[in-house]
């Protein structure tokens, strides 16, 4: 369903951090992308989730080339993706209570009416208790915040989840619980997964197949 062809991307024109990388995720498939610190795998994950425009290369979603990135991407393409990053704190608006954080994508797409029902479904899925839902990010731990970020990524029922080091800040049990939550969601919906990280044991156990960063270029 997602095909990255010869992607080159970076933050300065003359110094790409991703060079000529190709990767395919079939529908319903889970792919683990393994690479060392600083290799550029997070940048590729952002390109794959339409959050970062590549300098060159092609991205096909369901066989159709994507031409616009970020907020310019058409809504039905953007909402096909759910993204969870390593640093929950950098990706969460500090002013929002966790409920509102989770509801953000619903409200942004004019589906505010679904919020109460969806929160009631999502909170137990990711292991958030009611008292936590009313707190703001600085009043919860990293793990509690990451649970909310996963719930936010699932809010619009994405067809592809991109998890960039989702569990790097978490203890072993919380990590296993969040992986189980992702897998329950995938089992129920058939969604595909691109999980990025450097923990071979984790990605090997989690994903259908793992690919090594070095083998992609």
Partner 1 sequence: MDSMPPVLSVRGLSVRFLMPGGRRVAAVTDARFDVAPGECLALIGESGCGKSVLASALLGLLPGNAQTAGSALLGDLDLLTAGERTLARTVRGRLIGLVPQSPAAHLTPVRTVRSQLEETVATLTTTRGRAALRAAAEAAAERAAFPADHLDRHPHQLSGGLAQRAATALALVGDAPLLLADEPTTGLDRDLVDRTADELRRHVDDPGEGGRGRALLMITHDLAAAERIADRVAVMYAGRIVELADAAAFFGSPGPRHPYSRGLLQALPDRAFTPIPGMPPELGDLPAGCAFAARCDRATDTCATEPPPGTVACHHPHVPEDVRA
Q: Which residues bind partner 1 (CB under 8 A)?
A: 36-38, 86-87, 124, 127-129, 131-132, 140-144, 146, 165, 168-177, 179-180, 198-202, 204-206
- Which partner, ligand ATP, partner 1, none, binds residue 29 by CB below 5 to 8 Å per kind? none
Cβ-based neighbours of 89, under 8 Å, separated by 6 or more: 137, 142, 145
Minimum distance from residue 210 beta carbon to partner 1 (Å)? 12
Shorter beta-carbon distance to partner 1: residue 2 or 207: 207
Options 58, 79, 87, 141; binder of ligand ATP; rule CB under 6 A? 141
How far from chain centre, in Å, is Cα 135? 23
* Max CA pair span of the chain: 49
Q: How far apart are CA 153 and CA 185, in angstroms?
A: 11
Shorter beta-carbon distance to partner 1: residue 62 or 208: 208
Minimum distance from residue 103 beta carbon to partner 1 (Å)? 21
- Which partner, partner 1, ligand ATP, none, binds residue 202 by CB below 5 to 8 Å per kind? partner 1
Strand duo 160-164 + 81-84: pairing: parallel
Question: Nearest residue to ligand ATP, using CB?
Answer: 141
Check if the beta carbon of residue 192 is closer than 8 Å to that of residue 25: yes
Show the beta-strand stretches assigned E in 55-197. 56-61, 64-65, 81-84, 160-164, 192-197
Q: Does 142 bind ligand ATP (CB under 6 A)?
A: yes
Q: Which span sits near ligand ATP by CB under 6 A: 6-14, 116-124, 140-148, 159-167?
A: 140-148
Check if the beta carbon of residue 77 is closer than 8 Å to that of residue 66: yes
- Which partner, partner 1, ligand ATP, none, binds residue 86 by CB below 5 to 8 Å per kind? partner 1
> How does DSSP assign 173-184, residue by residue?
HHHHHHHHHHHH
Q: Does 139 bind ligand ATP (CB under 6 A)?
A: yes
Q: How far apart are CA 8 and CA 27, in angstroms?
A: 24
Shorter beta-carbon distance to ligand ATP: residue 71 or 138: 138
Q: How far apart are CA 44 and CA 211, in angstroms?
A: 13
Positions that interact with ligand ATP (CB under 6 A)? 139-144, 171
């Amino acid at each position: 369903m997602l095909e990255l062809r010869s992607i080159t991307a970076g933050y300065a024109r003359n110094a790409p951090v991703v060079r000529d990388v190709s990767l395919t995720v079939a529908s319903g498939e889970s792919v683990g992308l393994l690479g060392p610190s600083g290799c550029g795998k997070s940048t590729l994950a952002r390109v794959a989730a339409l959050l970062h425009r590549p300098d060159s290369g092609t991205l096909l979603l369901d066989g159709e080339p994507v031409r616009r990135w970020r907020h310019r991407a058409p809504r039905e393409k953007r909402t096909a993706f759910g993204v969870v990053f390593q640093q929950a704190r950098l990706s969460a608006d500090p002013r929002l209570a966790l409920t509102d954080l989770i509801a953000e994508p619903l409200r942004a797409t004019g589906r505010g009416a679904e919020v109460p029902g969806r929160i009631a479904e999502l909170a137990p899925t990711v292991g958030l208790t009611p008292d936590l839902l009313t707190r703001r990010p600085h009043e919860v731990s990293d793990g509690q915040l990451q649970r909310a970020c996963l719930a936010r990524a699932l809010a619009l029922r994405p067809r592809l989840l991109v998890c960039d080091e989702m569990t790097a800040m978490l203890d072993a049990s919380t990590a296993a619980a969040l992986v189980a939550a992702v897998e329950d969601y995938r089992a129920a919906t058939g969604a595909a997964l691109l999980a990025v990280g450097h923990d071979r044991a984790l990605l090997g156990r989690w994903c259908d197949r793992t690919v090594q960063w070095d083998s992609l270029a």
